[in-house]
Amino acid sequence: MSSVRERPIILALTGSIGMGKSETARMFRALGVPVYDADASVHGLYDVGGKAVGPIGEAFPGVVRHGAVDRALLSKEIAGDKTAWRRLEAIIHPLVGEVQRDFIVTEMARKTPLVVMDVPLLFETNGHTRADYVAVVSAPEHVQRRRVLERPGMTEEKLQEILARQLHDSHKRAKADFVIPTDQGLDVARDHVAAIVQRLLTDPPAKQAERLA
């Protein structure tokens, strides 16, 4: 059997800010499904010894403190500057891709049948092309806004800046294989997660080889 056939089914999990993606990822973990966390990967790349520290320090002088990228300083440096965002993405995305591939290789060696790739900017970075299925967490806009604006330090201006970088929720839902509602209580979301896992483990995608990049 080829290595492509032996790899896990890849379910990409995504959703806009405030939609409940982190909580949903924990639901998959609770069912024993390994979850790759893109945000955690970026934190590791920014931390002391991380591969992104040097390149980011060169591209944005002054944002590295005590051997790590100071995320607050970096945010100020790139705020409202699309060119700066593109420079940062050019550094981060390839490094994140390496971590993702390492995760898949590890789970392949373990003969894991299904993995979840928790990636916030999935469609925006074409990450969905490397997945077999996509699940989107979603809630009404008023629920999303309330959740986000309740976060410490969050403002309307910051929220609008974040949303401007994200594909609208309606477009994500249209592109998804599964939509997980997060405004109807945790039990409803858990039921959706369990149903997705059950389906993928009993009726796996037929064209994995075409989606592996």
At 113-129, the pLDDT tens digits run 999 999 988 998 888 99
Report whether pLDDT(3) > 70: no
| Average pLDDT of the chain, as a whole number | 90
Please indicate, yes or no, whether residues 29 and 57 belong to a single structural domain of this protein. Answer: no
What per-residue confidence (pLDDT) applies to 204?
66
Identity of the residue numbered 183: D
Lowest mean pLDDT among 10-24, 39-53, 118-132, 198-212: 198-212
- Residue finishing a domain among 94, 111, 128: 111
* pLDDT for res 206: 56
Residue 213's pLDDT band (cuts 50, 70, 90): very low
CATH of the domain at 26: 3.40.50.300
Whole-number pLDDT of residue 208:
42
* Model confidence pLDDT, tens digit, residues 69-123: 999 999 889 887 889 988 998 999 899 989 999 999 999 999 999 999 999 889 9
- pTM exceeding 0.85: no
The pLDDT score that the predictor gives to residue 73 is 93
Q: What is the mean pLDDT of residues 188-194?
A: 97
Band of residue 9 on the pLDDT scale cut at 50, 70, 90:
very high
- Residue whose pair of structure tokens reads 């990967």 in the numeric block: 41
Per the document, the length of the chain is 213
The H-assigned helical ranges of 126-168 are 141-149, 156-164
Residues 48 and 102 in one domain: yes
DSSP code of residue 124: G
Q: Which distant-in-sequence residues (6+ apart) come within 8 Å of 38 by Cβ? A: 96, 100, 117, 118, 119, 120
* 151 and 168 assigned to the same domain: yes
133 and 206 inside one domain: yes
Q: State yes or no: pLDDT of 1 exceeds 90.
A: no
3-state class percentages of the chain: helix first, strand second, coil last, to nearest 5: 55, 15, 30
Same domain, 155 and 120: yes
Q: Across residues 8-28, what is the average pLDDT? A: 95
Whether residues 151 and 68 fall in one domain:
no
Q: How many domains does the chain have?
A: 2
CA atoms within 13 A on the CB side of 17: 17
Q: Do 48 and 21 fall within a single domain?
A: no
Give pLDDT, residue 79. Answer: 81
> What's the pLDDT band for 162 if we cut at 50, 70, 90?
confident
Domain hosting 139: range is 1-34+112-213
State pLDDT tens for residues 27-36: 999 999 999 9
Q: Does residue 157 register a pLDDT over 90?
A: no
Q: Are residues 137 and 196 in the same domain?
A: yes
